[in-house]
Chain A
Amino acid sequence: MDVNGASVAERVRPAGPPGDNDRLLRRLRDGLPLVARPFLAIGQAIGQSEAGVIAAIRDLVETGAASRFGIIVDHAALGFTANAMVVWDVPDERVDAVGAALGGRRGVSLCYRRPRRPPVWPYNLFTMIHGRNRDEVRALVEELADGCGLAGLPRELLFTVRRFKQTAPCYGRDGRE
């Protein structure tokens, strides 16, 4: 599913010492067990204390290895079946402020800056926008343009047609997240 746009695949398993942390990360792939004390259950499975598991997860988030810890929703299952990579040509002196403003807006899963490659590629700001259908995506783009100071700037919507491949990154070892 193209929920996270091209860049979700750029995510990788965090670097860290092998051993306990690796075992914890492998456990976390499948998510927390849905029991009253999930961190205790994980700890019992890998030989760590409940407090140790909680501290290790907090560390993942605080060091930035994990972008978040929470409920990972499947947008397609929730009806968000239309999505587009929306690209914008934002003046360099404004792009950081605009990028920061776009993040966290409704329907925006990713926002990042990449280089322009004139003349074939004039856009420097990339967003992934999700909606229940293409009209909703178009409406969200208008809303973002008006709300984040992007009205009138060159932009294009690249609707997703199909996915050929989406796998975890490979680094020559088990790199699955």
Chain B
Amino acid sequence: MDSIRDSSDPTDRRLLDEFQRGFPLIPRPFAELAARLGSTPADILDRLRRLTAAGAVARVGAAFRPHRVGASTLAAMAVPPGDMVRIAALVGGFEEVNHNYEREHRLNLWFVVTAADGARVRAVLAEIEAATGLPVLDLPLERGYHLDLGFPLWT
């Protein structure tokens, strides 16, 4: 993995930096990548196999946008530090909670609630407040400027 982290191979870097979006949707896409990177299709496929095996590449595919179906919100709580594991388990026990992180702040537990509609999201937040005895901050998305579009790693 260190060889990946510290990869100074310029073709690896360009492959990972330049094709996080705008992958060519043509019959022989890897040949197009090879042409742009001054390589061969077989070499590009070998690199992708190696980078995938090393864990650096999750897949070549689509990232889907939020809010296409259902409703969701980002929620936060101030959990007494000694109680974090118990509270986090309570929160994570809700099947509508699909993302649950501890962060360094007075508001130290952050989670996403997703459900079929907004009423169900609000109901789940109320259930979480009841189960934990802690108030929940409800921060629904108002506008996305940049949602998982990838970002340059080296440049």
Contacts and interface: CB of A to CB of B under 8 A. Distances in A.
Interface of A: 2, 4, 6-15, 28-32, 34-40, 50, 54, 57-58, 60-61, 64-75, 77-80, 84-85, 96, 99-100, 102-115, 117, 120-121, 126, 130, 156-172, 175, 177
9 contacts: A11-B65, A11-B148, A14-B69, A61-B62, A64-B65, A66-B65, A67-B148, A99-B143, A106-B155
B147 interface: yes
* Interface of B: prevailing SS: mixed
Contacts, number: 301
A26 to B, nearest CB: 12
Contacts of B20: 68, 70-73
A18 to B, nearest CB: 13
B81 to A, nearest CB: 11
B66 A66 contact: no
Contact of A68 (B21, B29, B45): B21
A31 B99 contact: no
Interface of B: 1, 4-6, 15-16, 19-23, 25-31, 41, 45, 48-49, 52, 54-70, 72, 74, 76, 88-89, 91-92, 95-105, 107-108, 110-112, 114-116, 137-153, 155
A78 B98 contact: no
B91 to A, nearest CB: 8
A117 B65 CA distance: 26
A111 to B, nearest CB: 4
Contacts of B6: 79
* Interface of A: prevailing SS: mixed
A137 B86 CA distance: 30
Contact of B60 (A13, A14, A71, A113): A71
A7 to B, nearest CB: 6
A110 B146 contact: yes
Contact of B98 (A66, A170, A172): A170
Given A110-B147, A162-B102, A164-B88, A74 B56 contact: yes
A107 B52 CA distance: 21
Contacts of A114: 74, 139-142
| Nearest 4 pairs of A and B residues by beta carbon | A31-B59, A103-B146, A9-B99, A99-B145
Given A28-B61, A73-B16, A77-B54, A160 B103 contact: yes
Nearest to B89: A164
